[in-house]
Structure 1
């Protein structure tokens, strides 16, 4: 295995492990491990203890898996793409679920919401005077797609009759197909589909309902505005990076005498992921790590706490199911970004399109 393949094989699990380790720091202090709690309980000993145990488990198990991955790749030259990231993800989910159960049990047993006034709040200015969608940041992705289309059209007459359509871990082609519009332009179709999907999801997410804090609604609205803009920009940057990786991957398909470079293919994606992770750490989910940004004195606490809505979050707190909520997209309870309301039929349709398009694309092209 060449050094480039080794680098890529080590980099992807490292990114997954880093994101898993950082996850508790990304969400609001009132959502430890996806459990809604009053702000006054954010420093509860059980939360600090579970956060420490979670990081110990993820850090130790992830470190062992990373070392094992590098050792096998360099000595035995054994590579199982996706296996180590999947194992790290499994450790993350198990550790997260364990901490979530412990925090939820303490919340229930000690009745943390007893005597508190729960409520929701909205800021109509977010609808009457919304932030502008950062369309200029989509231009790089669209230009790369356009460049890929032009390149494929220009090169098509000289494309060999036998095209490489799959490469092994070292970048050597090991599967071929007869030249056709479908096989030669398949990277273009995939690139366009991925770009369109990210743009649509970014637009819906940008217009998603804000999660405002009724204790300090004005401050949380300002945080939400900055969070939405920065999060969507990071997604659009990621889209451009993914498109660049696809262009790098398409080049050896169109040139039979060239092998695939794993570094050239994965480096743009890793850069895009680094941008997303950097924005997540800087802003926090929903802008929880951002300052209020008010020029005057801090907003006075209204004494109202966010409504306890844990019953609408299923599994490990990753699935939102609320048929009474008209929202299509809502902010995640952990991690960074948004998720669908699976209790909304329109959200289910959107989910079916997102999942179905990649599955149907090969059949459509064929």
Structure 2
């Protein structure tokens, strides 16, 4: 069962990485800005197809080898988990490595063919953009956090009734296989981690309000509508993950207070259900929305403007993945390769928002 679970994860990662170019804006390829009139050039399309073929075939070969090894060798649980995680990271690193090769080829192609030469760079601004946003209200994200705080208070009330050893990990059978001594800190460690994660998704939703919109000057109306829809769906997706996390981690914590509500089958099925639901959600979000809402049908496209292109921000994107622009007040910006958001690493607050939650979660985990 564990083998097929990790195999499913590996297959999902492979397919998502391989077909990522299909989910991106046509005006961005491998982290490089491509003016709209060149987006469908044969050379650009061929590079995208080549990336998909290489990443998909490599991933499937690795998956096949992994399944043959795990089913024939029947390793113990610890070795299987270690190798499975290693195989997944190997697949990701291979796809990232090949992405950087294609990124360099695309940059060279852009310079060689002079796609930006002789074009007027235009930055389009919609002054009503912020008012048009339809994001989930902040209070909706705060409600799960209030529930988590209530769970912490309830835990302290029930502290004397809790067992002296608190389960911290459950094995494949659904039985707890790791414990921590009961203290006032250890009994609330899981809700504290949940609270930090809820705060991260709240910050993500709030950050989208102040992220600058990259509007295509050759297709203004459609571009604005896609940007607005992308932020709306991103906000809903963040809430979806927040709710599923709250339900899973909240239930896991409650069973340490009331063991009678849990069974080995529930504790085995709970993380699996969360994993499947999350993957399905990511898949739907990626396929339906795409990068910057590029897959959303929001109306008729306007004709292209041959002598005008968007401001070329390639110099601010290091490797097409890391955005560093001290003149941009945005903290969150849309990814150039991948669906979702990344940080403007020129803003010090971005480093704090990225690493502080991770440090807190790691500190809590290692203190148990």
TM bracket, shorter-chain basis: 0.7 to 0.9
Distance (Å, rounded) in 1 between the aligned partners of 2:253 and 2:68:
31
Judge conservation of contact 2:36–2:304 (CA < 8 Å) in 1. Answer: no
TM-score of the superposition, structure 1-length normalised?
0.87
Q: State the SS of the aligned residue for 1:82.
A: helix
Q: Partner of 2:289 in structure 1?
A: 283
- Asked if 1:70 is matched to 2:70, the reply is no
- Describe how 1:60-209 pairs up with structure 2 within 5 A: 60-78=57-75, 79=80, 80=82, 81-127=84-130, 129-135=131-137, 138=141, 141-142=144-145, 145=148, 149=152, 152=155, 156-168=159-171, 171-209=174-212
Q: Aligned residue pairs: how many?
A: 357
Residue 305 of structure 1 deviates from its aligned partner by: 0.9
- Asked if 1:45 is matched to 2:42, the reply is yes
Q: State the SS of the aligned residue for 2:30.
A: helix
Q: Structure 1: any 5+ residue segments left out of the alignment?
A: none
Q: Partner of 2:55 in structure 1?
A: 58
Judge conservation of contact 1:249–1:265 (CA < 8 Å) in 2. Answer: no
Q: How big is each residue's C-alpha offset from its partner over 1:257-277, in whole Å with a ceiling of 9 and x where there is no partner?
A: 965844321322331232132
Residue 345 of structure 1, aligned match among 308, 324, 348: 348
Distance (Å, rounded) in 2 between the aligned partners of 1:222 and 1:7:
41
Q: Partner of 2:33 in structure 1?
A: 36
Distance (Å, rounded) in 1 between the aligned partners of 2:54 and 2:10:
16
Q: State the SS of the aligned residue for 2:132.
A: coil
Q: State the SS of the aligned residue for 1:229.
A: helix
Q: Partner of 1:224 in structure 2?
A: 227
Q: Structure 2: any 5+ residue segments left out of the alignment?
A: none
Distance (Å, rounded) in 1 between the aligned partners of 2:147 and 2:122:
46
Distance (Å, rounded) in 2 between the aligned partners of 1:323 and 1:353:
21
Q: CA RMSD in A?
A: 2.8
Judge conservation of contact 1:223–1:287 (CA < 8 Å) in 2. Answer: yes
Judge conservation of contact 2:156–2:184 (CA < 8 Å) in 1. Answer: no
Distance (Å, rounded) in 2 between the aligned partners of 1:248 and 1:92:
36
Residue 146 of structure 1 deviates from its aligned partner by: 6.6
- Describe how 1:225-304 pairs up with structure 2 within 5 A: 225-250=228-253, 253-254=256-257, 255=259, 259=264, 261-293=267-299, 298-303=301-306, 304=308
Judge conservation of contact 1:212–1:220 (CA < 8 Å) in 2. Answer: yes
Residue 7 of structure 1 deviates from its aligned partner by: 4.1
Q: Partner of 1:308 in structure 2?
A: 312
Q: State the SS of the aligned residue for 2:333.
A: strand
